[in-house]
Amino acid sequence: MPSPAICDRARAAKDARFDGLFFTAVRSTGIYCRPVCPAPTPKRSNVSYYPTAAAATADGYRPCLRCRPELSPEAHARGGEDTVQRALALIADGALQDASIETLATQVGIGSRQLRRVFLARTGATPIAVHTTRRLLLAKQLLTETTLPVTQVALAAGFNSLRRFNTAFLEGCGMAPTAIRRQRGETPSGALTLRLGYRPPLDFAAMLAFLARRAIPGIESVGADSYERVIGATGASTWIRVTASRTKPELLLEISDADPRAIPDIVRRVRRMFDLDADLAAVHAILRVEPLLAKALRKRPGLRVPCGWDGFEIAVRAVLGQQVSVASATTLARRMVETYGEQRTDMRERSACSDLSRAELDRMFPTPERLRYAPLESIGLPKSRAATLRTLAAAVIEGRVHFGPGQRLDAFVESMVALPGIGPWTAHYIAMRALGHPDAFPAGDLVLQQMLGDGKRLSERATEARSQSWRPWRAYTVLHLWHLSNDLAKEKR
């Protein structure tokens, strides 16, 4: 959390760059707010600062109805190496929904008492309190922004009992769920739409352009101002669409035909995909020391690391992209989907009388089970690469490789390079785009070697050594250097 003096200045200026990095609790009202709260600024003598919403809640404060703390980006959610970051990623993935604190502690490699201690020191709350606050704030958002029945909101927030949900919500938010509904202004209409906040700046256009070049027909559609995808099992498809708000630092997530229990996972994946929890101020503070990266930051201050929707899908794409262009890899991915991806007949039926463009999103990406024994040479793959993909599929099925949160970078890379045909470049690329790991750095990348060598190609070892001063944000340097290389190529044309 920033120092009290910095918090004072950020609160007075209502600086969105500090949104989610701290919360302001007002003793005279008993509520806690975001730094950007539009309410009149309270006296400093009435204010306490907390590093997380869970910490403020644990001290008896309730969330503000005006600035809505549930819209804040998270401060520690970006995948990282330390224990708290890894545990928070696992909690966001639902680790405490059905498992114990002891299980979570085992997953991050420490004892449960120590986990509680480090959580209190870092977040101001216990892991259970963080988990509970996350659930209640999601419920508050759904009650405010959607017309979902309260029973479905309870399910989405992870409560199987409406009575328990009502009790927990009253304790955590200071009012009953139905009272939140009465407090809101206009009643939402149309598709379920959620607001996803971020700390500015965000170069949404650059992220869409990156995703558009890699989009797989039938799976996703990327326009000039939107990303669309159909997810879920065939026969129970869910459509999502992501656009940018024109007035606020928020993305708008539209969801259609979703099981309420799937909403937290959808939100988590979209936030990771567009890197919405990044603290670019911390990233830039490290990178701007390097003159080349300082130049890149001036050109694209809002550049972030675009992740993929599904880890296995990204891993397959990474293997398809070995030693070929992005366009060639996308062609191979399209052939694979056409040959081995199941068809979504329900999307065509649903779209016939509504949005015809959705009918084109009628495929599922092939599962590991579909690819494990598939003759992938038939789509134009070399035998060695086809074998690598079959081995990857088998490793995922057998649990030797997974793309879940909370993994250490070195452990994930080690598990990937143990598979024949996957080297450090591929492993780090997958870590960057599937796990969202901020320190992933494919040092064997030709473009990185040339950019850092000022026209001459550095060795992989020299490139790795050069990158050490940019840790733990090396993934951001990858995106910036790739973009700078494209700029240079355009200038030479």
DSSP line for 289-355: TSHHHHHHHHH-TT------S-HHHHHHHHHHTTTS-HHHHHHHHHHHHHHHSPB-HHHHHHHTTS-
Q: Does the reported pTM lie above 0.75?
A: yes
Q: Looking at 19, 277, 439, 445, which residue is catalytic?
A: 445
The neighbour count for residue 175, using CB atoms within 10 Å, is 15
Q: How confident is the model at residue 393 (pLDDT cuts 50, 70, 90)?
A: very high
Distance, CA of 350 to CA of 329 (rounded, Å): 31
Across 383-396, average pLDDT: 97
Closest CA to 131 of 82, 87, 175: 87
Closest CA to 478 of 489, 490, 492, 464: 464
What local confidence, expressed as pLDDT, does residue 323 receive? 85
Helix 280-287 with 474-492: angle, nearest 10 deg: 70
Whether the per-residue pLDDT at 87 is higher than 90: the answer is yes
Q: How confident is the model at residue 442 (pLDDT cuts 50, 70, 90)?
A: very high
Check: CATH 1.10.10.60 for 83-183?
yes
Distance, CA of 7 to CA of 11 (rounded, Å): 6
Instruction: Summarize pLDDT for 326-364 with one digit per residue, the tens.
Output: 999 999 999 999 999 999 887 656 655 456 567 789 899
215: its two tokens: 């989009």
Whether the per-residue pLDDT at 187 is higher than 90: the answer is no
Across 87-110, average pLDDT: 92
Across 394-418, average pLDDT: 96
Q: How confident is the model at residue 291 (pLDDT cuts 50, 70, 90)?
A: very high
Known catalytic membership, residue 445: yes
Helix 112-123 with 101-108: angle, nearest 10 deg: 80
- In 3-state terms, what secondary structure has residue 161? coil
Helix 83-92 with 101-108: angle, nearest 10 deg: 130
- Assess contact for 150 and 80: CB atoms under 8 A: no
Across 373-388, average pLDDT: 95
Strand order in the sheet with 47-50: 47-50, 23-26, 31-33, 62-63
Closest CA to 97 of 134, 72, 63: 134
360: its two tokens: 């084109």
**478: CB partners within 8 A, 6+ apart:** 305, 432, 440, 441, 442, 445, 448
What local confidence, expressed as pLDDT, does residue 184 receive? 67
Peptide bond into 382 cis (omega under 30): no
Q: Looking at 7, 19, 33, 307, which residue is catalytic?
A: 33
Average model confidence (pLDDT) for the chain? Answer: 92
Q: How confident is the model at residue 75 (pLDDT cuts 50, 70, 90)?
A: confident
Which residue matches tokens 């229990």? 261
Q: What single letter denotes the amino acid at residue 61? A: Y
What local confidence, expressed as pLDDT, does residue 367 receive? 96
Q: Is 78 exposed, middle or buried (0-12, 13-18, 19+ CB in 10 A)?
A: buried
What local confidence, expressed as pLDDT, does residue 347 receive? 66
Whether the per-residue pLDDT at 190 is higher than 90: the answer is no
Distance, CA of 138 to CA of 141 (rounded, Å): 5
Peptide bond into 201 cis (omega under 30): yes
Average the pLDDT over each of 174-183, 198-207, 300-309 and give the range with the smallest value: 174-183
Instruction: Summarize pLDDT for 8-25 with one digit per residue, the tens.
Output: 999 999 999 999 999 999
Known catalytic membership, residue 98: no
Whether the per-residue pLDDT at 493 is higher than 90: the answer is no
Range 463-481 burial, b when 16+ CB lie within 10 A, else e = bbebbeebebbbbbbbbbb
Q: CA–CA distance from 465 to each of 443, 448, 460, 480 (Å)?
A: 9, 13, 9, 18
Q: What single letter denotes the amino acid at residue 14? A: K
What local confidence, expressed as pLDDT, does residue 77 receive? 57
> What residue ranges do the domains of the chain occupy?
4-71, 83-183
Class of domain 4-71: alpha beta
What local confidence, expressed as pLDDT, does residue 67 receive? 94
Q: What single letter denotes the amino acid at residue 367? A: T
Distance, CA of 70 to CA of 138 (rounded, Å): 7
Across 364-392, average pLDDT: 96
What local confidence, expressed as pLDDT, does residue 257 receive? 87
